[in-house]
Amino acid sequence: MRTAFTYYGSKRRIASAIWQRFGDPSYYYEPFGGSLATILERPEATEKARYEYVNDADCLITNFFRAAKFGKPEELASLANWPASQLDLEARVDWLPKQRNRLHHNLTADPKWYDLDCAAWFAWVRSVKFSPDSRTLLVGRCSGVRRKHQNLTLYFTALARRLKDVSIHYGDWTTLANAAENQSLRNNCAILLDPPYKYATGRSRNLYATDSADVAEYVHRWALAIAEIRPKLRIALCGLVGEHKMPATWEEFPWSSGHGKGIERVWFSPNCDLKTNTEATMANTHDTCESPR
């Protein structure tokens, strides 16, 4: 399914390529969740159990998915269904960041707490402006919660159903990375690593609430080290061309987001075998269809 809001760096366009290489892992980790575009594009479940874990360091994002998971879809839809308005955009762009301290306190104090207004307005703001730091309404923009002919109540109902068994974390990326390392000793696991790209690539700064010039390098080092000691863990590392020096055994997958001029890259660890994982996924799907109920 599609995401509720646009997000800079989304991997929605190549989600199918990622899942072709991951197959259907029992355990899936996404430490830099953003709009959750990749997990929302995951093929439908087979009969085997799935354990999915997502994380983001921005409490506005975590709050949105908490609200989508636990809130009433019709209430969230009513708040998010707002006409495009320049003054409302400016007011909400100013108001939302001021809520972060309050959100951080309440989100960490209660695992099911959320703020419905913040959630709806966050998704709306992301859907009417062009980039994270923009305060200008993009004329004619119809994306996210403002897609044409979209019934938001039905959409948020489906989103809540999809997130029902997804574990939503908030904080540092290493929590899920360490979990993937441990689980991969005995289970079929995959992890998508999509950190903010290095400033040295020339990408714009302050694109994210929690931005970093060097986290991508730490993630890169972790990925290489873990691939050596956990060869069964399927790893996808995202970046820009030339950003990471990878072994020849890793697949370098070029793609274009439409804004990056075709310089985006995903590096897949050696065991992300396209042919093997695609055949396994198809076999699982076939078995599920033929299994008696």
Residue 278 pLDDT more than 60? no
Q: Kindly state whether residues 48 and 77 are assigned to the same domain.
A: no
Q: Write the CB contacts of 90 (distance below 8 Å, at least 6 apart in sequence).
A: 135
Q: Kindly state whether residues 175 and 288 are assigned to the same domain.
A: yes
Instruction: Say what the pLDDT of residue 197 is.
Output: 85
pLDDT tens column, 208-249 = 667 666 899 999 999 999 999 999 999 999 999 999 999 999
Instruction: Say what the pLDDT of residue 276 is.
Output: 56
Q: Encode burial over 64-77: b for 16+ CB neighbours within 10 A, e otherwise.
A: bbbbbbebebebbb
Q: Kindly state whether residues 144 and 289 are assigned to the same domain.
A: no
pLDDT category of residue 285 using cuts at 50, 70 and 90: very low
Q: Kindly state whether residues 110 and 152 are assigned to the same domain.
A: yes
- Runs of H (alpha helix) within 184-214: none
Q: Kindly state whether residues 96 and 140 are assigned to the same domain.
A: yes
Instruction: Say what the pLDDT of residue 16 is.
Output: 96
Which CATH number does the domain housing residue 213 bear? 3.40.50.150
pLDDT tens column, 50-92 = 999 999 999 999 999 999 999 999 999 999 999 999 999 999 9
Q: What is the pTM of this model?
A: 0.89
The phi, psi pair for 166, rounded to 5°, reads: -90, 130
Distance CA 188, CA 122 (A): 35
Q: Kindly state whether residues 5 and 143 are assigned to the same domain.
A: no
| Domains: count for the chain | 2
Query: Sign of the C-alpha dihedral, residues 65, 67, 72, 76?
Result: negative
Q: Kindly state whether residues 253 and 182 are assigned to the same domain.
A: yes
Q: Which domain holds residue 70?
A: 58-164
Cα–Cα–Cα angle for 244, 249, 250, nearest 5°? Answer: 45
Q: Kindly state whether residues 159 and 262 are assigned to the same domain.
A: no
